[in-house]
């Protein structure tokens, strides 16, 4: 396995994903994946688990079947000040925090408003990764977001699920090309996330890889290929 971690996966706790933590870990071991990020949707997503679920993640052993588990969340951005739907105290206990726009949780604003929200999220020391900033339903000033990620040492996600033709996100391919070109230009690292909702999709980066090839994206800017680099982001607030 060329990649050392998949930073974005979901289990049955998210309400619309289909495997357990144990099944996801076993599958990662089978694939020869050394690390997995398990990032359930935070409470404001319909049908996902509640605050207590996240506050009790301390009971989950971080190592099983030879796989290191990064237990975290995909928090929902709730407004244009970058407010998230979990208390800071709980976010600070997470191994990995992704923050994303999701339609059940926030109605898109103007480019200025959406961009301001992402920049506030990037400034939040408890957030590690901006999830799928590639959705024209939430248009943003990509350059401003990439520059903020550089300044605050945050990862921007290249989300494989966004690139599926039947995927929910709008115009993701073009937006991701723009994202990658700007990350190249400013030397900003990305994080590859499968956004798996089923074990078969763990580390499925097939569509993302096509795009990386197309824009000749340097491997040195893919944090999933170097855990020291990845941990410089994930452990920055620890
Ligand atoms: Zn989901
Ligand atoms: Zn998401």
DSSP symbol at 67: E
Is the pLDDT score of 17 beyond 90? yes
For residue 99, the CA-to-ligand 2 centroid distance in Å is 8
* Structural domain containing residue 70: 5-234
* Per-residue pLDDT at 28: 98
State the ligand closest to the CA atom of 17: 1
Which pLDDT value is given to residue 238?
84
| Of 30, 148, 159, nearest in space to 98 by CA | 159
Which CATH number covers residue 179? 3.20.20.140
In this predicted structure, the answer to whether residue 216 has a pLDDT above a threshold of 90 is yes
**Percent share of the chain, pLDDT over 90:** 97
Residue 204 tokens, joined: 């499925």
CB 65 within 8 A of CB 21: no
- Alpha-carbon distance of 38 to 36, in angstroms, equals 6
* pLDDT computed for residue 166 by the predictor: 87
Ligand 2 centre to CA of 102 (Å) is: 6
pLDDT tens string 24-60: 999 999 999 999 999 999 999 999 999 999 999 999 9
Please state at what angle helix 142-152 crosses helix 172-186, rounded to 10 degrees: 40
118 contacts 84 by C-beta, under 8 angstroms = no
Q: Residue 137 C-alpha to ligand 2 middle, in angstroms?
A: 13
Query: Rounded to the nearest whole angstrom, what is the distance from the C-alpha of residue 123 to the centroid of ligand 1?
Result: 24
Ligand number with the minimum distance to the CA of 134:
2
| DSSP-derived pairing of the beta strands 67-76 and 63-64 | antiparallel
Q: Which ligand is nearest the CA of 162, by number? A: 2
**Is 129:97 a contact under the CB 8 Å cutoff?**
yes
Structurally, the chain folds into a number of domains equal to: 1
Question: Which pLDDT does position 64 carry in this prediction?
Answer: 98
Cα 46 to ligand 1 centroid, rounded to whole Å: 10
Q: Which pTM value belongs to this model?
A: 0.98
């Amino acid at each position: 396995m060329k990649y050392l971690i998949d930073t974005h996966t979901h289990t049955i706790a998210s309400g619309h994903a289909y495997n357990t933590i144990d099944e996801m870990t076993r599958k990662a071991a089978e694939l020869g994946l050394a690390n997995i990020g398990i990032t359930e949707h935070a409470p404001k997503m319909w049908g996902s688990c509640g605050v207590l679920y996240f506050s009790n993640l301390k009971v989950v052993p971080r190592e099983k079947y030879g796989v290191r588990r990064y237990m975290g969340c995909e928090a929902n951005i709730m407004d244009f000040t970058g407010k998230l739907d979990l208390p800071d105290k709980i976010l600070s206990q997470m191994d990995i925090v992704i923050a994303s726009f999701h339609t059940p949780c926030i109605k898109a604003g103007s480019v200025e408003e959406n961009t301001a929200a992402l920049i506030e999220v990037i400034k939040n020391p408890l957030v590690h990764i901006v999830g799928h900033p590639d959705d024209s339903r939430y248009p943003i000033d990509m350059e401003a977001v990439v520059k903020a990620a550089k300044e605050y040492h945050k990862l921007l996600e290249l989300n494989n699920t966004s690139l599926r033709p039947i995927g929910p996100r709008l115009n993701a391919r073009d937006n991701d090309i723009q994202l990658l070109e700007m990350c190249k230009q400013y030397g900003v690292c990305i994080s590859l996330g499968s956004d798996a909702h089923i074990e078969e999709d763990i580390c499925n980066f097939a569509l993302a890889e096509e795009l990386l090839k197309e824009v000749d994206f340097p491997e040195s800017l893919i944090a999933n290929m170097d855990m020291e680099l990845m941990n410089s982001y994930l452990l920055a607030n620890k």
